[in-house]
Structure 1
Amino acid sequence: MNKVIETIQNHRSLRHFEDKPLTDEQIKTIVTCAQSASTSSFIQAYSIIGVKDKEKKKKLAEIAGNQEYVEKNGHFFVFCADLYRHTIIGEKEQINVTPSIESTEKFMVALIDASLAAQNAAIAAESMGLGICYIGGIRNNLDDVKKILKTPDRVIPLFGLAVGVPTKKTETKPRLPYEHVYHEDQYEQNKEIYVSQLQEYDQLISSYYEERTGGKRKDRWTEQMALMLDRKSRMYMREFVQKNKLDLH
């Protein structure tokens, strides 16, 4: 096993960082690695906003549910779907690109491009001995996030990435069984097999939580997911995206 694979398989979300800002060189390395990710048709439909300002980080932490590690980290990156620059490209080249930019397809391209770039950034950071934690909580109130980051129409902040020198590490959390995720030639639809794999995973996760918490917690994964999905969250998202002139067709 090479070091790249070791880095990927040793991933865990870390939430406690030293009070030590990343250097400009570290930031540039992480961003240039993000830029090396694959991008659909070379469209590069994303932007990354680095947040250093303490007051802005504090406000973002509050939006994210008072998550302290949004405020206290080495650097906070916000990954955005970005088709604003392509609007400018259309004006520059005097070509009507609006119908394409406002399509669901191009919105999906922007989401995928940003996600691929972010994962490159995460692996780069972890390979440098840094810890990372993705922050979806900024989507709790994107209207306020856009005001804080001053993003124009056709730019949607998707998630944050807290990066820093970790003060403590947790164990890696077991993932779904390989056989449950990987299908060959067609999707496995045998419900008995499907449920059996989920039950196996439930036992694994329950044991993981019980050991990690000293018996205080032993919930099953399917139980956790069902309860989470039972709570409606961020149901404003479609309206917000369309208000920002994306995903209209």
Structure 2
Amino acid sequence: MPLSAEVHDTAAERLAGLLRQRYRADPPAVDAPWSAAIDAILDHRSARAYLPGALPEGTLELLIAAAQSAPTSSNLQAWSVVAVSDPDHKARLAKLAGPNAQINEAPLFLVWIADLARARAIAGQYGVPGDGLDYIESFLLAALDAALAAQNAVVAADSLGLGTCYIGAIRNHPEAVAAELGLPPEAIAVFGLTVGKPDLARASDVKPRLPQASVLHRERYGASTRPDELAAYNGALRQFQAEQKMAPIDWTEQVSRRIGTSAALKGRERLTEVLRRLGFKLL
């Protein structure tokens, strides 16, 4: 059923507002229908402060059902997730990831696993060596599958009024994390995800993103580092930082610091050798 003119105008205004919020600039021209899913996605912001109390019964299972509804390469479903809610268990993982206070504060911490162990076991049941698992393609497939699944869970959480935040620092000490979670060979934690009811008194706003012209290429890759666009984005992010009472830094400087030296990777520069010790051959 087509939208009435009044409803269409309201939806169009809502969409334009969400886009303006995301880019902190005049929104791209989008003449498309609004939906609740688009609303949840465009309004996403990371939650780093949570209210006490467990999640409603069934929430975890619903988030995992959403995760399992994501696409998966060749239907291999080469991921797993470990749900951690025990305070002592979360505290040990938080120490390995920082320390990280929000892991302790969130009622639920999901650790997403690039998991080739299940496929290896199935290969053994069929009496085949599973040589295809030995290549970097298979590890990449598993990591991508985990990311796709987790992002589905994030969108589902947003739609339920929950907050989430990805924790890449779970890769700082991958062998210790694997031992903490009892992971088998050929399984590694690729990132964590805090989940909980966000504390709105300490809520973050929607963080602006690069202009679409910096990331959207049509037909062929074009220039993606135009100085004027990057300068405008630095300004938008500085405004966000001031509003959030964050230390001011240009995005371009932040990028240069993050990738400037191997030490900035905080131990993750050794990930290839760690993966091999955890059973991945990476041929």
Q: Say yes or no: does 1:224 pair with 2:254.
A: yes
Opposite residue 93 of structure 1, the aligned amino acid is Y
Deviation at 1:247, TM superposition (A): 4.6
Contact persistence 1:107–1:247 (CA under 8 A)? no
Q: Which residue number in structure 1 is paired with residue 278 of structure 2?
A: 244
Q: Deviations over 1:86-117 (max 9, x none)?
A: 111111111121x2101011111001100000
- Unpaired runs of 5+ residues, structure 2, are 1-33
Structure 2 counterparts to residues 57-206 of structure 1, below 5 A: 57-97=90-130, 99-168=131-200, 169-189=203-223, 194-206=226-238
Q: Which residue number in structure 2 is paired with residue 50 of structure 1?
A: 83
- Further displaced range: 109-118 or 68-77: 68-77
Q: 1:190 to 1:93 in 2, by over 3 A?
A: closer
Q: Which residue number in structure 2 is paired with residue 17 of structure 1?
A: 50
- Unpaired runs of 5+ residues, structure 1, are none
Q: 1:26 aligns with which of 59, 67, 80?
A: 59
Aligned length: 244
Query: What SS does structure 2 have at the residue aligned with 1:81?
Result: strand
Q: Deviations over 1:17-40 (max 9, x none)?
A: 111112340000000100000000
Query: What SS does structure 1 have at the residue aligned with 2:205?
Result: coil
Bigger Rg over Cα: 2
Contact persistence 2:135–2:282 (CA under 8 A)? yes
Structure with more contact order per residue of length (Cα contacts < 8 Å, sep ≥ 6) = 1
Structure 2 CA distance, aligned partners of 1:92 and 1:244?
22
Query: What SS does structure 1 have at the residue aligned with 2:143?
Result: helix
Deviation at 1:210, TM superposition (A): 2.5
Q: Which residue number in structure 2 is paired with residue 3 of structure 1?
A: 36
TM-score normalised according to structure 1 size: 0.94
Q: Percent identity?
A: 34
Q: Deviations over 1:22-69 (max 9, x none)?
A: 234000000010000000000100001001222110001111112111
Q: Deviations over 1:119-154 (max 9, x none)?
A: 001111111110001111111111111111000100
Q: 1:211 aligns with which of 240, 243, 268?
A: 243
Question: How large is the RMSD of aligned CA atoms in angstroms?
Answer: 1.4
